[in-house]
Amino acid sequence: MKTELEQKLTSGKIKDFCINNAIVLVLISLIIFIAIREPSFLSLRNLRNILTMSATRLIIALGVAGILITGGTDLSAGRSVGLAAVLSSSLLQSQDYPRRMYENLPSLPLIIPVLIAITVCGMVGLANGIIVSKLKVPPFIATLGSMVAVYGITSIYFDRPPYGAQPIGGLNSSFSALGTGFIGPNGLFSLPYIVLIAAFIAVLMWVVYNKTRLGKNVYAIGGNSEAARVSGVNVVKTLITVYIIGSALYGLGGTLEAARTGGATNNYGNGYELDAIAACVVGGVSVSGGVGTVGGVVVGVLIFSVINYGLTFINVNPYWQQIIKGLIIVAAVAIDIRKYLARR
């Protein structure tokens, strides 16, 4: 029989394991719950649909994650997604579409409008980074202001003659294929391009955060920005770079979202920043800064995708879905704060 000390040690290990892996346990529990209610949920078709749903959200969340790790936040993410969607869609309409925004624009190579959208969003990130790092405006206020401004810019661009504020459609086939195309045989075993792109971005950001000086500086600033500065970290340069990278990822995510859905309006991306922040927090990115992993963000995004897709699959009331999301977010933050206090 185990001694009292051994029992306490075992109990402590189990408790620590549950706290440290709470997010994975929540995801597994959700999948088991839905599978018990509807066994057909565990199919390749549903897995493919969940991954496709998660792809653009993951790219956006990875952009937000770096900023959160520095101890900041970015409320302009969703509106930057909308800006990228409108820009890329307006430049990639089919030549024979009767309501083109640019009637005389020749057919452009796919890469050019995509790079334009990413670059413009990157400039938004540059502005955010300068305001936060040089003007010392709190990130919440700085990005709140840019969120409003970017929406205004997108709406002005969107509401152009001759057709005014009409949804942008009629995308050319190469652009649509970016969001709906796939590799492999037509069917369950195909792998969507959009999922491959998201996986590539996830691997790339893992390398940035774990194998580069920039990544180490990001965590150092999030842990203690003053200590990082004293130790030789260029805090201003690092913050500006992180905000640019984040906004560039929003630009890519918005472009892919437009390609996936077949068009765009000025309201695209509305609320995406809250979903991204929630996915990061649930995935273990600390609200206090200095802590977070790419793997955790992936799991956080998957949890919300499983909630959205899986609970709809078993006909759970959408209002209950919102309650479940809220409880998961609060629980994740409570666990995060407990870890933070334990470290202190």
Rounded distance between C-alpha atoms, residue 181 and residue 91, angstroms: 20
pLDDT per position as a tens digit, 194-250: 999 999 999 999 999 999 999 999 999 998 999 999 999 999 999 999 999 999 999
Domain 43-343 part of CATH 2.60.120: no
**Residue whose C-alpha is closest to residue 199's, from 54, 303, 306, 85:** 54
Helix, strand, or coil (residue 264): strand
Q: Looking at the predicted structure, is the pLDDT value of residue 340 above 60?
A: no
Q: Please report which helix (H) or strand (E) contains residue 52, including its range.
A: helix 44-69
Res 188: pLDDT? 64
Say what percent of the chain tops pLDDT 90. Answer: 52
Q: Looking at the predicted structure, is the pLDDT value of residue 344 above 60?
A: no
The mean of the pLDDT values for the chain is 88
Q: Looking at the predicted structure, is the pLDDT value of residue 331 above 60?
A: yes
Res 339: pLDDT? 63
pLDDT-derived band at 6 (thresholds 50, 70, 90) equals low
pLDDT-derived band at 19 (thresholds 50, 70, 90) equals low
Rounded distance between C-alpha atoms, residue 189 and residue 135, angstroms: 51
Res 69: pLDDT? 95
Say what percent of the chain tops pLDDT 70. Answer: 90
pLDDT per position as a tens digit, 59-76: 999 999 999 999 999 999
Number of Cβ atoms within 10 Å of the Cβ of 15: 10
pLDDT-derived band at 2 (thresholds 50, 70, 90) equals low
Helix, strand, or coil (residue 182): strand
**Residue whose C-alpha is closest to residue 291's, from 214, 192, 208, 219:** 219
**Burial level of 117, CB count in 10 A (0-12/13-18/19+)?**
buried
pLDDT per position as a tens digit, 171-196: 999 999 998 888 877 666 788 999 99
Res 342: pLDDT? 58
In this prediction, residues 307-314 reach a mean pLDDT of 86
